[in-house]
Amino acid sequence: MIDYSKLSIFEIMDKIKTHECSAQEVVEFFIQKTKENEKLNAIVEIFDDVVEKAKEIDKKIQNNEKLGKLVGIPVAIKDNILYSTKKAGCASAFMQDFVSPYSATIVEKLLDEDAIIFGRTNMDEFAMGGSTEKSVYGVCHNAKNFEYVAGGSSGGSAVAVSAGLVPVAIGTDTGGSIRQPSSYNGVVGVKPTYGTVSRYGIVAFASSLDQASPITKTISECEYVLKILAGKDDHDQTTIQNDFASDKKDKYRLGICKEVVEKLKERAEFYNFENAIKKVSDKFEIVDVSIPHISSSLACYYIIAPAEASSNLARFDGVKYTKRAENCESLEDVYVKSRSEGFGKEVKRRIMLGNFVLSSGYYDAFYGKAKNVQKLIKKEFKTAFLNCDAIILPTTLSTAFKIGSKNSDPVEMYMEDLFTVPANIAGIPAVSVPYSLAENGLPLGMQFMADEMQESKMFEIAKIFKSQMEVE
């Protein structure tokens, strides 16, 4: 039997199209694979109609009908993405019984291309967290080492791809939630230019930062699926027309951000980073760039994201679709009891943080100021990209950590986002690519950031980099 988990989506589609195998065989392989790896807790539900859908695709192939660009490819979606008539629980006790009344735009797009929406992946509750430990479904385990965290919040999606449970999984990235778990599990994950992918039908965390995007094994697959998800959407005013214009050059300029190097110097992983740069030094022109306020991104993020989240999550109030607490004697009871019981600790922490920074008298000092610093950071990136085609930096400070090891101090957990958050704050694209193994044997990811709508160039640079890593 063919091990489809070792094949790229292009190879799988070739086999399906040339009748070498059926879509049904492919989907059944991945069902089997997922069941064998249940302990990872990456995929929380395989949708009950996947075999049915695969048979429909096979019929299409038999009838020589026009086929989509993802024909027969099983795609797992994060638990905060709506797929009509299927559950979408946001890994929250509050939303466990929620059945989507409509499908997200990206789900429609995947279905239009004959992909098979395979199931739901584990995540941190409401996408808040960096480890996928804070889930109503339980902890998700790292694909490379069971004792370690998956990363998050799209931990289930990254683990599912890394362990070969699906060839493609969709995650969402608000401050690094795709790139960080991709880095932790040795797979490729991208966060596109803000507005590239429609947010319609994706449960909002921080509206001005959220982007959904694919996680795959290779850069080419990631780029391919992203282009399918992208596009201006009549249901999302913040979407843009991203044409993925390419800007081919013989030698690209790669910027190293000196403020990042400062943060990294003292750490063991600096060796891996330096070594990687050395390996590509003749492929790129390496230049120093400066983003003076890059470190303030984190502070901005932890004001803007909770502020928007506090408002976005207010609709989960026990009145409509979320679970209502029992024995409520007043309307206030419904709100207070339901939300107290429904939300987990981290979600509550961020809602309170958000309410605080928006409250009257504090708005200017926090939210207003954060928005101003955000403008400044955007400008600094713009300036940096005048001098380079992409900025190279590690995705995370270190590898995945042991499950349970960072549960005592939320701020320590927040620090994990240090290198991923700037791309969200600046609205620019960034991709994480596995490049090295740390001393503990766990993968490290390298991140490439490019200017707005320069994804094609960013992927091209990442591919050149990746090919050099594989030499030896």
Partner 1 sequence: MSYLDSYEMVIGLEIHAELATRTKIFCSCKNEFGASPNSNTCPVCTGMPGALPITNKKVIELAIKAGLSFGCEISKYTVFERKNYFYPDLSKAYQISQLVKPLNIGGGVELDSGKFIRLNRIHVEEDAGKLTHLGKSQGTLIDYNRGGTPLIEMVTEPDFRSAEEVVEFLKKVREILMFEGIANCKMEQGGMRCDVNLSLRRKGDSNFGIRTEMKNLNSFRSVQRAIEYEAERQAEVLASGGDVVQETRKWDDFAGESFAMRSKEQAQDYRYFPDPDLLPILISDEEIEKVKSEMVEVPASRRKKYTEEFGIPKYDAELLTQTKYISDYFENCVSLLFVPKKISNWIMVDLFKIVKDQAQKEQNQEDIVFPISEKQLTNIIKMLEDRQINKNVGLELLQKVIETGKDANELAKEMNLLVTISEDTILNLLSKLKSENSKVVEDYKKDPEKISKFITGYVMKNTQGKANSLVVKNLIPKVFSKE
Query: Could you list the active site residues?
Result: 78, 153, 177
Interface with partner 1 (CB under 8 A), residue from 241, 359, 383, 387: 359
Q: Give the interface segment with partner 1, choosing from 231-239, 273-281, 389-397, 463-471 (CB under 8 A).
A: 231-239
Interface with partner 1 (CB under 8 A), residue from 220, 355, 398, 440: 355
Total residue length of the chain: 472
Site for partner 1 in 17-36 (CB under 8 A): none
Site for partner 1 in 300-339 (CB under 8 A): 307-308, 310-311, 314-317, 319-321, 331, 335
Question: Angle CA(360)–CA(364)–CA(370) in degrees, nearest 5?
Answer: 125
> What is the rounded CA–CA span in Å between residue 104 and residue 385?
33
Q: Looking at beta carbons only, is 180 or 322 nearer to partner 1? A: 322
Q: Looking at beta carbons only, is 395 or 424 nearer to partner 1? A: 424
Site for partner 1 in 245-264 (CB under 8 A): none
> What is the rounded CA–CA span in Å between residue 88 and residue 202?
10
Give the nearest distance from C-beta 202 to partner 1 in angstroms: 5
Half-sphere exposure of 92 (CA within 13 A, CB side): 30
DSSP 286-320: EEEE--TTTTHHHHHHHHHHHHHHHHHGGG-SSSS
- Residue 142, helix vs strand vs coil: coil
Burial category of 369 from C-beta neighbours within 10 Å (exposed 0-12, middle 13-18, buried 19 and up): middle
Write the interaction track for partner 1 spanning residues 59-88; mark x where CB under 8 A is met and - where it is not.
----------------------xx-----x
DSSP state of 74: E
Site for partner 1 in 85-114 (CB under 8 A): 88, 90, 95, 98, 101-102, 104
Other CB atoms within a 10 A radius of the CB of residue 361 amount to: 6
What residues contact residue 107 under an 8 Å CB cut-off, 6+ apart?
Answer: 77, 81, 82, 83, 84, 117, 201
Q: Looking at beta carbons only, is 204 or 392 nearer to partner 1? A: 204
> What is the rounded CA–CA span in Å between residue 56 and residue 72?
10
Give the nearest distance from C-beta 376 to partner 1 in angstroms: 18
Give the nearest distance from C-beta 187 to partner 1 in angstroms: 25
Q: Which of 167, 160, 156 is nearest to 75 (CA)?
A: 167
Give the nearest distance from C-beta 96 to partner 1 in angstroms: 13
The answer to whether the bond into 360 is cis (omega within 30° of 0) is no
Read off the tokens for 143.
């694909």
List for the chain the helix, strand, coil content (%; round to 5): 40, 15, 45
DSSP state of 48: T
Question: Judging by DSSP bridges, how do beta strands 188-191 and 168-173 pair with one another?
Answer: unpaired
Give the nearest distance from C-beta 103 to partner 1 in angstroms: 10
- Whether the CB-CB separation of 325 and 93 falls below 8 Å is answered with no
Q: Looking at beta carbons only, is 10 or 335 nearer to partner 1? A: 335
Burial category of 340 from C-beta neighbours within 10 Å (exposed 0-12, middle 13-18, buried 19 and up): exposed
Interface with partner 1 (CB under 8 A), residue from 204, 229, 291, 433: 204
Q: Looking at beta carbons only, is 104 or 168 nearer to partner 1? A: 104
> Does residue 206 belong to the site contacting partner 1 (CB under 8 A)?
yes
Q: Give the interface segment with partner 1, choosing from 205-213, 394-402, 436-444, 451-459 (CB under 8 A).
A: 205-213
Give the nearest distance from C-beta 30 to partner 1 in angstroms: 26
Give the nearest distance from C-beta 436 to partner 1 in angstroms: 37
> What is the rounded CA–CA span in Å between residue 128 and residue 151?
11
Q: Give the interface segment with partner 1, choosing from 203-211, 246-254, 425-433, 460-468 (CB under 8 A).
A: 203-211
Site for partner 1 in 264-303 (CB under 8 A): none
Site for partner 1 in 362-401 (CB under 8 A): 363, 367
DSSP state of 367: I
Q: Which of 50, 41, 46 is nearest to 149 (CA)?
A: 41
Interface with partner 1 (CB under 8 A), residue from 19, 59, 235, 379: 235
Q: Give the interface segment with partner 1, choosing from 2-10, 249-257, 359-367, 454-462 (CB under 8 A).
A: 359-367
DSSP state of 93: G
Q: Looking at beta carbons only, is 63 or 330 nearer to partner 1? A: 330
Give the nearest distance from C-beta 77 to partner 1 in angstroms: 12
Site for partner 1 in 155-174 (CB under 8 A): none
Q: Where are the beta strands (DSSP E) in 218-310?
A: 253-257, 285-289
Q: Looking at beta carbons only, is 201 or 342 nearer to partner 1? A: 201
Binding site for partner 1 (CB under 8 A): 81-82, 88, 90, 95, 98, 101-102, 104, 199-204, 206-208, 234-238, 307-308, 310-311, 314-317, 319-321, 331, 335, 355, 358-360, 363, 367
